[in-house]
Amino acid sequence: MTKPMVLDVSIDLIDVPDDRARHYDDQSARALANVLNVQGLFHPIRVRQIGDRYRLITGLLRLRAFQINGAQSIPASLSDADTDDAERLEEVMENLARNDLIALDRCHHLYELKHAYERLHPETKAGVAGAKAKHGSANEIFSFAQVTAEHIGLSQRSIQVAVKIWTDLTSASRARLAGTPTARKQTELKALAELPPARQEQVLDLILDEDSAAGNVAGALEVLDQKPDNSRLEKVLAAVSSGLKSLPEDSFDRLIHENEDRVMASLKRRGRI
């Protein structure tokens, strides 16, 4: 294997794709900028040359850290990827191999890797591979999960679970999870992904609410299951209202006296006093 060529590339010539697999954290980039000021850059970023410009494959934090430090150029190794899918494979495989991804990013990377891999190797898709297996050529078929497991040290089962998590999470849930503590816990992501879309939204409403006591998916579900539905609540309110109207005055006064603080608070909330 030949050593990749390393160039000193002008930062102004580097384009960053909008659909990167890894969530960008500006705070991490600023922290890295301080480290690079002290010790310099050990690992060049990786880029693909397209015409007179370069497209970033890996190293967004390093690139942003250099920009924060006011650098005009950055060491970069040149990729030999000749397609967008080959470029995507390089991006996700390097990040996966470094093993510093949080759970949500790992699920995203493995999802992206699966689809890029199957576009480059259509014979490995489940339906095609199954058909070939029936005709006696199963030994020639290596699934995405099998090949990836050999490269990054994860089991095939864990790879399949991660891909399913990303697939089953709604796009809204993925966006809301980014940068949260829940995004670091695969067990929580799996529990959330197993819920219907509307339920995912309700659970995240509680988990991401600082005033909520629900700190995880199980806690949020417990709270939601305890909430009476609107129709039942309306029936209770109607029954209470009817009962109050039928009370004698002295009984009504006693009831108000026993709940005086709440009554006063309600009147203040509604601007009646």
pLDDT in tens, 56-95: 998 888 999 999 999 999 999 998 888 888 888 788 777 7
- What percent of the chain is predicted at pLDDT more than 90? 32
- Asked if pLDDT for residue 178 goes beyond 50, the answer is yes
Q: Class of 6-80 per CATH? A: alpha beta
pLDDT band at residue 8 under the 50/70/90 scheme: very high
pLDDT over 90 (residue 146): no
> CB-based contacts of 76: which residues, under 8 Å, 6+ apart?
6, 7, 8, 9, 14, 44, 45, 46, 47, 54, 59
- Domain limits, the chain: 6-80, 88-225, 232-269
Residue 257 has pLDDT above 50, yes or no: yes
Is a pLDDT exceeding 70 seen at residue 23?
no
Mean of all residue pLDDT scores within the chain: 82
What strands lie across the sheet with 53-58, from one edge to the other? 6-10, 73-78, 45-50, 53-58, 14-15
Q: What is the pLDDT of residue 2?
A: 53
Closest Cα partner for 9 from 57, 73, 84, 100? 73
Distance between CA 219 and CA 234 in Å, rounded? 26
Q: Is the pTM of this model over 0.75?
A: no
CA quadruple 94, 99, 102, 106: dihedral, nearest 10: 50
